[in-house]
Structure 1
Amino acid sequence: MKPVFVSFFTLLVLVFTVAAKEPSKGLTCDQEKTLVAPCVDFLTKKTDTPATPCCEGLKKIIESSPTKKEKKAACKCLKEAASQVPNLDKDRANNLCKTCKITVDFLFSKNFECEK
């Protein structure tokens, strides 16, 4: 089940547009993984829509990472986690914020780099 958490984190990493090993504001990497765990079924095409806890967790991670340094940390955490999730649908991951109706101020792509 841990690899599934990792895949969703990759999506979140893209959302944050930065990465580092430090935890985001008040959240550790493990806490971030737990918050996005409910997204795994949607991101691996086991369900057609993300669960409410998935979208709520994603929103909490975004709100808990207001600074560039925190965004980098969250990005790296989620990206590393996502790399271990088999059958991750990258299109669903890239559109998760939109699907959850969460507005972000930037765009991201499959080739997103957390350090920028």
Structure 2
Amino acid sequence: MKTVFVSFFTLLIVLVFTVTGTKASKGLTCEQEKTLVKPCLEYLTKKTDAPSTSCCDGMKQIIISSPTKEEKRAACKCLREQGSQIPNLDKDRANNLCKECKIMSNDLDCQKLD
């Protein structure tokens, strides 16, 4: 009986982690998005002339992780809130970040999602 309970309990834990992992992979939290965008701050505040590879990779990850319109809106909201807290943020650079990263997608064009 004890063996059956342990096996059932182990199976339950695996199932919970599998379901939780599946849900988490569909979208990012705002905190995760902020972490992915952090390498862009040097560029967005004119401390560097071009966005870093890690900045562009982070932007790509945000776009890939936001397949639905609702997730895109949430990502935009998060990034706007983040941007409003950054002193010396160059809005032109922020608006052109995808272009500078050579991301040929309008998937995260926040102005079109409003």
Structure 1 unaligned residues grouped into runs of 5+: 1-22
Identity over aligned residues, as a percent?
67
Cα deviation, residue 104, structure 1: 1.4
Deviations 1:48-82 (A, max 9, x none): 11110000000000010010111111111111111
Please report the RMSD computed on the Cα atoms of aligned residues, expressed in angstroms.
2.3
Considering Cα pairs closer than 8 Å and 6+ residues apart, tell me whether 1 or 2 has the greater RCO.
1
Counterpart mapping for 1:67-86 below 5 A = 67-86=68-87
**Larger Cα Rg: Structure 1 or Structure 2?**
2
Query: In the TM superposition, what is the alpha-carbon distance from 1:106 to its structure 2 partner?
Result: 6.2
Q: Secondary structure at the match of 2:28?
A: coil
What code does the residue aligned with 2:26 have?
A: K
What is the TM-score with the length of structure 1 in the denominator? Answer: 0.70
Secondary structure at the counterpart of residue 88 of structure 1 = coil
In structure 1, the partner of 2:50 is 49
CA pair 24-89 structure 1, distance change in 2 beyond 3 A: farther
TM-score for both structures, normalised by structure 2: 0.71
CA distance, structure 1, for counterparts of residue 25 and residue 104 of structure 2: 19
Cα offset, 1:108, TM superposition: 4.7
Structure 2 Cα separation of the partners of residues 44 and 82 of structure 1: 10
Query: Structure 1: how far apart are the matches of 2:90 and 2:25?
Result: 25
Aligned length: 91
Whose helix proportion is higher, 1 or 2? 2
